[in-house]
Amino acid sequence: MTFATVASFLLMALQAIPLEVWGVLIGGIITMAITAYFAGREHRKQRKSEAIAVALKATLINNSFSHLLHHIKSADNKAKGTTPRVKFDLWTRIPLLSGKLEPIAIEPNELLVFIEAREYELVQELLTLTMRHKSMCDAFNDFADRKIELRSRVTEGTVNGEIVSHSTPLDVTSQIIVMELNTLTKSITDLLPLFRRESAILCKKLTPALRKHLRDKSVPYFREVG
């Protein structure tokens, strides 16, 4: 059977379709096209919302690092100014924060837009960011627990703000707590500036990548607070 024969047969078959059936078919095609258009638009809106939510979370984490770093530096400077001739360990100069720190989590399913954009490096950096924030929150919370426990064990001496002095030797458990406080403080003060610096760099890369992928210049820039 030649192509011309097949084409002629199809043409005859199409001509045999009643006009009202054509109306139904065309209406169905139009409905499918409209449905696909709005489904695609909703998909883009959802992806944009997810992307903005991730960028906002990353900025909040960066601001959290900045706040914690400022908390440590200001407390340290204040303590040094009030006790110029006495040297105290850094952990004694850092005041406790109110309440527990809650980590901000960026879930893997929230990163689909970055995977679609083939921004695999950003995906890895965002997952690292959320793990770093959790580790820093855990460290500060552990620091607070240890310091509160030590306060309850030291029943003599003087308290000047956050600085505790005592004349009698600490028991073994208290000495272990002091060692833990020194270790936690060193880890926090060593890593926090790095975490803050790298999170700031990451946040600056998010909006350009999203605007390029989504082809949407309305994706906002999120600024660091402070």
pLDDT per position as a tens digit, 68-108 = 999 998 877 776 665 555 567 888 888 888 889 999 998 88
Answer yes or no: is 226 within a domain: no
Average pLDDT, the chain: 77
Residue 74 lies in a domain: yes
Selection from 63, 89, 65, 67 nearest residue 76 by Cα: 89
Enclosing domain of residue 100:
19-153+167-214
Token pair listed for 116: 């679609």
* Within-domain flag for 220: no
Q: Is residue 181 part of a domain?
A: yes
Length of the chain: 226
Domain assignment of residue 57, yes or no: yes
Whether residue 202 is contained in a domain is answered as yes
pLDDT digits (tens, 9 = 90+) for 171-202: 888 888 989 999 999 999 999 999 999 999 99
Strand segments, DSSP code E, in 92-168 are: 158-160, 163-165
Residue 121 has pLDDT above 70, yes or no: yes
Judge residue 43's burial from the number of C-beta atoms within 10 Å of its C-beta, 0-12 exposed, 13-18 middle, 19 or more buried. exposed
In a domain, 68, yes or no: yes
Tally of domains in the chain: 1
Of 218, 202, 181, which is closest to residue 60 (Cα–Cα)? 202
Look-up of token digits 């001739």: 85
Q: Is residue 158 part of a domain?
A: no
Q: Give residue 211's pLDDT band: very low, low, confident or very high (50, 70, 90).
A: confident
pTM of the complete model beyond 0.95: no
pLDDT band of residue 66 (cuts 50, 70, 90) is: very high
Closest C-alpha to 48, from 202, 218, 224: 218
Task: Read off the DSSP letter of residue 94.
Answer: S
